[in-house]
Amino acid sequence: MPEPLLSVHALDAHYGDFQALFGVSISVAHGQAIAVIGANGAGKSTLLKSIAGLMRSRRDAIVFEGVPIGELPAHAVARRGIALVPEGRRLFPSLTVEENLLIGGQGGRSGPWSLARIYELFPVLAERIRQPAGTLSGGEQQMLAIARCLMGAPQLIMFDEPSLGLAPAIVHRLLDTIRDLNRDGVTCLLVEQNVALSLKLASRAYVLENGRVSLTGAGDELLADDRVRSAYLGL
């Protein structure tokens, strides 16, 4: 079997004395779309923050392209090719759309993403290039957050609750964008409150419960699993 792009091995994570993750292990292959589902407080965001270097881990707990990166700070993780679209977007609200995009491209990685290609993918951003990011609608801000990550030429993009607070029509449009990016070869790791949509998008998924992986399988298999349907889909 080829070596995975990302491997997480027996990852623990703490907030002070509180332990949020207990021996979590996941694997992400090149070009895959992986979903992580679970209830609020299950540890999903903590997992993404740990991978992104926002929470320090054991050096060998997180391996990317065969290199242990668990002890690296966030900026070094980003330069290796891992990007996080954080919950709440975390844009620079007083800077313009284009300034936010240019900041996203300052990591020094070369890749296929340019301003022209970003504006082709998100035409609404081309209409707002001089507009402060803080004045955009929620959906437009989420598009900008994704576009800013793409400007850094990542190999892996992690999405933390991209649909939070958005209208259903915008949610479907954003998840279609994530699906299209994945079909174009971008590896995606998705935490999303809309469990049904995320499982339809993902080739594989992991279920987190109380900081532990309780179930894993193909997205369509978990979508049909009675335990998942009862716990997360209300069926």
C-beta neighbour count of 4 within 10 angstroms:
18
What gap in Å lies between CA 24 and CA 61, rounded to an integer? 9
Indicate whether 124 pLDDT > 70: yes
Q: Is residue 182 in a domain?
A: no
Q: Give long-range contacts, CB 8 A cutoff, 24+ apart: 178-185.
A: 178/33, 178/146, 179/33, 181/150, 181/157, 182/31, 182/32, 182/33, 185/31
Q: Is residue 55 in a domain?
A: yes
214-235 residues labelled b (16+ CB within 10 A) or e (exposed):
ebbbebeebbebeebeebbeee
Q: pLDDT tens-digit profile of 210-220?
A: 999 999 999 99
Q: Is residue 233 in a domain?
A: yes
Please state the rounded mean pLDDT for residues 41-55. Answer: 96
Q: Is residue 2 in a domain?
A: yes
Q: Which structural domain, as residue segments, surrounds residue 66? A: 1-80+198-235
Q: Is residue 101 in a domain?
A: no
Q: Is residue 133 in a domain?
A: no
| Average pLDDT value over all residues in the chain | 92
> Amino acid letter at 111?
G
Q: Is residue 31 in a domain?
A: yes
| Length of the chain, in residues | 235
In the chain, % of residues over pLDDT 90: 74
What CATH code is carried by the domain that includes residue 27?
3.40.50.300
Please state the rounded mean pLDDT for residues 140-162. Answer: 94
Residue 235: per-residue pLDDT: 47
Name the domain count of the chain. 1
Q: pLDDT tens-digit profile of 75-94?
A: 999 999 999 999 888 899 99
What is 67-78 written as a DSSP string?
A: EE-TT--HHHHH
Q: pLDDT tens-digit profile of 21-47?
A: 999 999 999 999 999 999 889 999 999
Q: Find the distance separating the first CA and the last CA of the chain, reported in whole Å.
A: 37
What gap in Å lies between CA 77 and CA 79, rounded to an integer? 5
C-beta neighbour count of 180 within 10 angstroms:
11
Give the DSSP H or E segment for 191. Answer: strand 187-191
Q: Is residue 159 in a domain?
A: no
Contact by Cβ (8 Å): 150, 113: yes
Q: pLDDT category, 234, cuts 50, 70, 90?
A: low
Please state the rounded mean pLDDT for residues 62-70. Answer: 96
